[in-house]
Chains A and B, each alone.
Chain A
Amino acid sequence: MEAFTCFLSFILPILLSPTLTISTNYEGNALHALRSRLSDPNHVLQSWDATLVNSCTWFHVTCDSNNHVIRLDLGNSNISGSLGPELGQLKHLQYLELYHNNIGGKLPKELGKLKSLVSMDLYGNRFQGKIPKSFANLKSLRFLRLNDNKLSGSIPRELTTLSNLKVFDVSNNDLCGTIPVDGPFGSFSMESFENNRLNGPELKGLVPYDFGC
């Protein structure tokens, strides 16, 4: 990846027009890096032209009036591959909609840097590994839908600090341990947790949190 970025920052200003923002247009960079990790048989990312000053005219990308990326809509797009740490650079992103694809690999912990994120919809993919603890930094997050993946490990207790969290769905994964009951977790229905290897709600003070995990 380093080599690729270097290649771009070196070659593009020479070969193509310098209207391109490659190195400092961090959002365009991040999206371009995402594209390079994804396989896109339906060509939904065709309009992602790295030579443009910003990525706001790319399809499936929505910007605010300051040309910051606030939505990424790639649900049901038949894309596969994995996500990378670059996504964490989309500081203004509010909606990350990647549901119902074939994206695999781990959830990058850098997603926890998306301070403005309101909704993270990654359901219906092939994500595996643990739910990163860094998600507890997503203070604006209201909707976190990770259902129908292959996530394992326990539900990070840190997520109980997400005071705005309204929807949390991890059903149909391979999670284990107990279900937190603090904070917003007090109001989530049990359907959000079904079809895992979870041991039921945490009994505070009696059972260790990761019991049986």
Chain B
Amino acid sequence: MGSTQVCLLMLFFSVLGVILEVTLGNTSDDSHWLLRIKSELVDPLGVLGNWSPGDDICTWNGLTCSDDQTYIVGLNLSSSGLSGPLSPDLSRITSLQMIDLSANSLTGSIPPDFGQLQNLRQLLLYSNSLSGKIPEEIGLLKKLQVLRIGDNMLTGQVTPNIGNLIELRVLGLAYCQLNGSIPTEIGNLKHLQSLDLQKNSFGGLIPQEISGCMELQNFAASNNRLEGGIPASLGKLESLQILNLANNSLSGSIPIELGHLSELKYLNLLGNRFNGEIPSELNQLSHLEKLDLSRNNLSGTINLFNTELKNLEVLVLSENFLTGDIPKFICVRDSYLWQLLLAQNKFSGNFPLELLNCTSLQELDLSGNNLKGELPPSLDKLVNLTDLLLNNNSFIGTLPPEIGNLSALETLYLFDNMITGQMPTEIGKLQRLSILYLYDNQMSGSLPRELTNCSSLTEIDFFGNQFTGSIPPTIGKLKSLSFLQLRQNDLSGPIPPSLGYCRKLQRLVLGDNKLSGSLPPTFKFLSELLLISLYNNSLEGPLPESLFLLKNLRIINFSHNMFSGRIFPLLGSDSLSLLDLTNNSFSGSIPSRLSMSKNLTRIRLAHNLLNGDFPSEFGQLKQLNFLDLSFNSFTGELPPELSNCTNLSHLLLNSNQFFGMIPAWLGSFQELGELDLSTNNFNGTVPPELGKCSRLLKLSIHSNRLFGDIPQEMGNLTTLNVLNLQRNNLSGPIPPTLQQCKKLYELRLSYNFLTGPIPPELGSLTELQVILDLSENRLSGGIPQSLGNLVKLERLNLSFNELHGEVPHSLGKLTSLHMLNLSNNHLQGQLPLSFSGFPLSSFSGNDKLCGPPLASCAKSSGLQKKWMSNTAVAGIIVAIVFTATVVCSVLLYIMVRMWFNWRMVSISSSENNKLEHKREEEKWVYGDHEIRTGEYWDVNNMALVPAQQRESPTTTCIFHLKMSTESSKNSFA
């Protein structure tokens, strides 16, 4: 029995051995599975070419066999261009210890069957296109030491089973779409050295348990959504060399325990919400090389000392709320610090002189602080400096000549300071200088010719200084220059022809200077030019024809110069988006070529001498939103093609000689905010379709030959601020629908033939402010009481109509009114008391008005009665005459002579008033306060006694009052 038992036992073990051998791997079976895997893969590079059934599997490309060639231990096909699914069949080759399929284009999910690969020590699947979740079965791979599956499209949470992989050294899950929180089980991974979770969507807290990973050297979890504070337990990770938690939502203060991480070389917490002070315990990190705490809410002063942090190479604390002086010992002699970025904090004080000992510095950024004082001349001690950024501070004084000694300098930002004085000629020594931004300072003097020795310059921006003199004629030496901005200085003289040799120039901005002369023909060489802006200079003459060679131009702004001739040379490009030639002396017609630039959004040609018809080709410019052709001599009708430009927001065609009808299709311009067709020869009627322009803010069609009614549909323009229809031949009533234009602050309908009453509805336009001008029409009826609601109205002109009745006393409530003209109507009765401050001329030409400033009503009515009975009047006059002495009659004679003189003055001045009227109003709106001393209107000038009153004699006032109203009536007629 015993022997049979032994035999059975032996049999059992031998069977077990066979079975074990099968599970460990059988190369013939393996080849079967591998060939199946091969058949599923796309292999454009042919790396699987020698995988053929006849050959020894151990010679197959990418496979590694065990020493005795009996089973497969490794599969390495990284960067082999493979695509297709990651096959579950791979799990059949259980002998595999290492799989590296990284950097291919494998798709599908990680098969759960991989959990069978019990011998696997390394699984490298990073940089593929794998998707789906990480299978829970991954936790079965007890021997796994390296798991790198990042840079895929993996989603979902990380299984807590990951904590079972107790042999794990490297866990790489970066650059996926993983979410959920970091599993606390991660703390079980006692041998973990590298944990990379960057660029996922991990949220929640950093698990305190991470302190269990006692051997951790690299912990990178940047660019996630981690919240809460850094657990103090992190300080126990004594082997940690790299800690990168940048760009999360971590908050609280930086734990002082981080000071215990004595091996730390790299600490990056940028882009979180850490607050409080920077703990001085960080000074204990003597191995630290890179420290970035930028873009947090850190406050207080800097307590970091280069004397402790001896190995520091990079220190970035930008974009916090740090205060105080920049500390003396932030960078010391013999330091390794080459990058010191402290931008956009609240540092104050002067430029820290101690910093100048830190000769290792290559990049120094102190921009956006409150630093003041002068730039130290000994700045040149920083001999290795390549980037010096001191912009947006309050530095004063001059740019020290020693700057020329910084021979490595590539970038110099000094913009937005208060630097004064001249630019040192020594700047020309900076042979590597590429970017020089000095804008928004108060530098003066001329631009030194030496500047053009800086042969590496690519960008110059000096705008907003007070540089004088001319642009250096040698500027053409700057062969690399792509951007030159000298806008808003006092530069004069011509544009140097050599500028045309800066062939790399893309953007040239010389606006707001005093440059003169013409454009040099050498500009034809600027073939890369995208933008040329020369506005507000005194440049003149015709444009060189050769400018037509500039095919890449997108933005041209030559406005406010004295250029003349044709605009054709500017139209070589088909890429124009903005063309502004406002206020020059360009002549001729608009070339149809302009419409080749289909991306044009703004065309501004106002105030030139252009003529000809409106180019119908503009209809192709679908992007056009701003078209200003005003103040030229264009003629003809508006072409129907223009109706395609439905994006127009500004259409300004005023002061030309356009004629024909105002087209009804303007009503389809739904973006239109300002339409100005005034001062042309348009005739016909006002199209009711204009009422469809629902965004219209300003509508000016005055001074044309329009006739017919004002359409009711104007009332649909509910956003309208300004409506000006004056000086046409419009007739019919004022449509009461205008009351719907509740946002009107300016309404002018004067100089038309409007009839009927003033609609009482106008009284609901309570935002009317600048003016309500209905003068010079044929309006009849009374002044509606409702106009008394226009409490913001500053000017009201109802003169020269046929208005009857009394002036409603409600008008007395118009407390904002300071110009009033009711003259030359048929008004009667007593004026509201508050009108006493207005001049007589506001009411003249109304026979029966009374009350201050006119004669008091009692007296006036008495006079009228006497006027009725001629005999009584005659009797009184006779009585006066007869009771007067000879001297008195002589006096009367003198008075009459005086009146004749005055009448001549009165006629001429009232005519002037009429002519100057419009201009006067405009000037008033534009803030020319002096103009408001015009006697015709202003209330405040009553104290100065207007001309008419000054002349009125005291003894014969009854006569003169009557005669003066008559005379003024004559003069207006």
Q: Residue on A with the closest CB to B461?
A: A13
Q: Residue on A with the closest CB to B487?
A: A18
Q: In the complex, which of the residues A3, A19, A76, A167 has the most CB atoms of chain B within 10 Å of its own CB atom?
A: A19
Docked-complex contact A18 and B818, CB < 8 angstroms: no
Q: Is B439 an interface residue (CB 8 A)?
A: yes
User: In the complex, what residues of A have CB within 8 A of residue B509's CB?
Assistant: 18-19
Assembled-state Cα–Cα distance A3/B488 (Å): 24
Q: Residue on A with the closest CB to B319?
A: A3
| Those of A27-68 within 8 Å (CB) of chain B | 47, 53, 57, 59-60, 64-65
Assembled-state Cα–Cα distance A47/B531 (Å): 22
User: In the complex, what residues of A have CB within 8 A of residue B649's CB?
Assistant: 47, 59
Docked-complex contact B769 and A119, CB < 8 angstroms: yes
Q: In the complex, which of the residues A53, A70, A94, A167 has the most CB atoms of chain B within 10 Å of its own CB atom?
A: A53
User: In the complex, what residues of B have CB within 8 A of residue A75's CB?
Assistant: 743, 767
Could you mark each residue 459-503 of chain B with 1 if its beta carbon is under 8 Å from any beta carbon of chain A, else 0? Answer: 001011000000000000000000101011000000000000000
Docked-complex contact A3 and B926, CB < 8 angstroms: no
Q: Is B511 an interface residue (CB 8 A)?
A: yes
Docked-complex contact A65 and B818, CB < 8 angstroms: no
User: In the complex, what residues of A have CB within 8 A of residue B767's CB?
Assistant: 75-76, 99
Q: Residue on A with the closest CB to B649?
A: A47
Smallest beta-carbon distance B440→chain A, Å: 5
Q: Is A10 an interface residue (CB 8 A)?
A: yes
Known: A47-B673, A76-B742. A9 touches B792 (CB 8 A): no
Smallest beta-carbon distance A183→chain B, Å: 15
Docked-complex contact B344 and A19, CB < 8 angstroms: no
Docked-complex contact A6 and B533, CB < 8 angstroms: no
User: In the complex, what residues of A have CB within 8 A of residue B49's CB?
Assistant: none
Docked-complex contact B319 and A18, CB < 8 angstroms: no
Known: A9-B440, A19-B531. A3 touches B415 (CB 8 A): no
Smallest beta-carbon distance B807→chain A, Å: 20
User: In the complex, what residues of A have CB within 8 A of residue B368's CB?
Assistant: 2-3, 6
Q: Is B331 an interface residue (CB 8 A)?
A: no
Assembled-state Cα–Cα distance A23/B485 (Å): 14
Question: Contacting B557 at CB < 8 Å: which of A13, A53, A92?
Answer: A53
Assembled-state Cα–Cα distance A97/B722 (Å): 14
Docked-complex contact A57 and B650, CB < 8 angstroms: yes
Question: Contacting B533 at CB < 8 Å: which of A18, A76, A167?
Answer: A18
Docked-complex contact A9 and B485, CB < 8 angstroms: no
Assembled-state Cα–Cα distance A204/B745 (Å): 40
Assembled-state Cα–Cα distance A75/B743 (Å): 8
Q: Is B895 an interface residue (CB 8 A)?
A: no
User: In the complex, what residues of B have CB within 8 A of residue A128's CB?
Assistant: none
| Those of B30-60 within 8 Å (CB) of chain A | none
Question: Contacting A116 at CB < 8 Å: which of B319, B416, B927?
Answer: B927
Assembled-state Cα–Cα distance A65/B925 (Å): 11
| Those of B381-425 within 8 Å (CB) of chain A | 391-392, 415-416
Smallest beta-carbon distance B86→chain A, Å: 43
Question: Contacting B697 at CB < 8 Å: which of A2, A23, A60?
Answer: A60
Assembled-state Cα–Cα distance A13/B507 (Å): 10
Docked-complex contact A18 and B461, CB < 8 angstroms: yes
Smallest beta-carbon distance B559→chain A, Å: 9
Docked-complex contact B926 and A64, CB < 8 angstroms: yes
User: In the complex, what residues of B have CB within 8 A of residue A143's CB?
Assistant: 792, 816
Q: Residue on A with the closest CB to B555?
A: A17
Q: Is A133 an interface residue (CB 8 A)?
A: no
Smallest beta-carbon distance A163→chain B, Å: 10
Q: Is B810 an interface residue (CB 8 A)?
A: no
Smallest beta-carbon distance A57→chain B, Å: 7
Q: Residue on A with the closest CB to B673?
A: A59
User: In the complex, what residues of B have CB within 8 A of residue A59's CB?
Assistant: 649, 673-674, 697
Q: Is B211 an interface residue (CB 8 A)?
A: no
Docked-complex contact B416 and A76, CB < 8 angstroms: no
Q: Is B351 an interface residue (CB 8 A)?
A: no
User: In the complex, what residues of A have CB within 8 A of residue B535's CB?
Assistant: 53
Q: Is B523 an interface residue (CB 8 A)?
A: no
User: In the complex, what residues of A have CB within 8 A of residue B488's CB?
Assistant: 21, 24
Assembled-state Cα–Cα distance A94/B509 (Å): 32
Docked-complex contact A65 and B743, CB < 8 angstroms: no
Q: Is A110 an interface residue (CB 8 A)?
A: no
Q: Is B616 an interface residue (CB 8 A)?
A: no
Assembled-state Cα–Cα distance A21/B953 (Å): 61
Assembled-state Cα–Cα distance A86/B554 (Å): 32
Q: Is B28 an interface residue (CB 8 A)?
A: no
Smallest beta-carbon distance B95→chain A, Å: 58
Could you mark each residue 58-98 of chain A with 1 if its beta carbon is under 8 Å from any beta carbon of chain B, else 0? Answer: 01100011000010010110000000000000001011010
Docked-complex contact A19 and B555, CB < 8 angstroms: yes
User: In the complex, what residues of B have CB within 8 A of residue A95's CB?
Assistant: 769
Q: Is B118 an interface residue (CB 8 A)?
A: no
Known: A24-B464, A70-B927, A76-B742. A6 touches B367 (CB 8 A): yes
Docked-complex contact A94 and B927, CB < 8 angstroms: yes
Known: A13-B485, A47-B673. A73 touches B745 (CB 8 A): yes
Q: Is B131 an interface residue (CB 8 A)?
A: no
Assembled-state Cα–Cα distance A73/B626 (Å): 20
User: In the complex, what residues of B have CB within 8 A of residue A23's CB?
Assistant: 415-416, 439-440, 464
Could you mark each residue 761-792 of chain B with 1 if its beta carbon is under 8 Å from any beta carbon of chain A, else 0? Answer: 00000010100000000000000000000011
Q: Is B456 an interface residue (CB 8 A)?
A: no
Q: Is B721 an interface residue (CB 8 A)?
A: yes
Docked-complex contact A24 and B440, CB < 8 angstroms: yes
Q: Residue on B with the closest CB to A121?
A: B792
Smallest beta-carbon distance B875→chain A, Å: 45
Smallest beta-carbon distance B315→chain A, Å: 20
Question: Contacting A18 at CB < 8 Å: which of B416, B507, B697, B769?
Answer: B507
Q: Residue on A with the closest CB to B440?
A: A23
Q: Is B815 an interface residue (CB 8 A)?
A: yes
Smallest beta-carbon distance A179→chain B, Å: 17
User: In the complex, what residues of A have CB within 8 A of residue B791's CB?
Assistant: 167
Docked-complex contact B816 and A19, CB < 8 angstroms: no
Docked-complex contact B533 and A19, CB < 8 angstroms: yes
User: In the complex, what residues of B have CB within 8 A of residue A21's CB?
Assistant: 487-488
User: In the complex, what residues of B have CB within 8 A of residue A2's CB?
Assistant: 344, 368, 392
User: In the complex, what residues of A have CB within 8 A of residue B391's CB?
Assistant: 6, 10
Smallest beta-carbon distance B697→chain A, Å: 6
| Those of A96-111 within 8 Å (CB) of chain B | 97, 99
| Those of B42-97 within 8 Å (CB) of chain A | none
Assembled-state Cα–Cα distance A42/B367 (Å): 38
| Those of B418-437 within 8 Å (CB) of chain A | 437
| Those of B547-599 within 8 Å (CB) of chain A | 554-555, 557
| Those of A163-190 within 8 Å (CB) of chain B | 166-167
Smallest beta-carbon distance A79→chain B, Å: 14
| Those of B922-936 within 8 Å (CB) of chain A | 925-927, 929
Smallest beta-carbon distance B934→chain A, Å: 17
Smallest beta-carbon distance B678→chain A, Å: 16
Assembled-state Cα–Cα distance A105/B485 (Å): 40
User: In the complex, what residues of B have CB within 8 A of residue A60's CB?
Assistant: 697
B interface list, Cβ under 8 A from A: 319, 344, 367-368, 391-392, 415-416, 437, 439-440, 461, 463-464, 483, 485, 487-488, 507, 509, 511, 530-531, 533, 535, 554-555, 557, 626, 649-650, 673-674, 697, 721, 742-743, 745, 767, 769, 791-792, 815-816, 818, 925-927, 929
Sampled A-B contacts (13; CB under 8 Å)? A6-B344, A6-B392, A9-B415, A9-B440, A19-B555, A21-B487, A24-B464, A53-B533, A59-B697, A94-B925, A97-B769, A142-B816, A167-B791
A interface list, Cβ under 8 A from B: 2-3, 6, 9-10, 13, 17-19, 21, 23-24, 47, 53, 57, 59-60, 64-65, 70, 73, 75-76, 92, 94-95, 97, 99, 116, 119, 121, 140, 142-143, 166-167
- Apart from A10-B391, A17-B530, A166-B815, 19 more pairs, CB < 8 Å: A3-B368, A6-B391, A9-B415, A9-B440, A13-B439, A17-B533, A17-B554, A18-B485, A18-B487, A19-B555, A47-B673, A57-B626, A59-B674, A73-B745, A76-B767, A99-B767, A166-B818, A167-B815, A167-B816
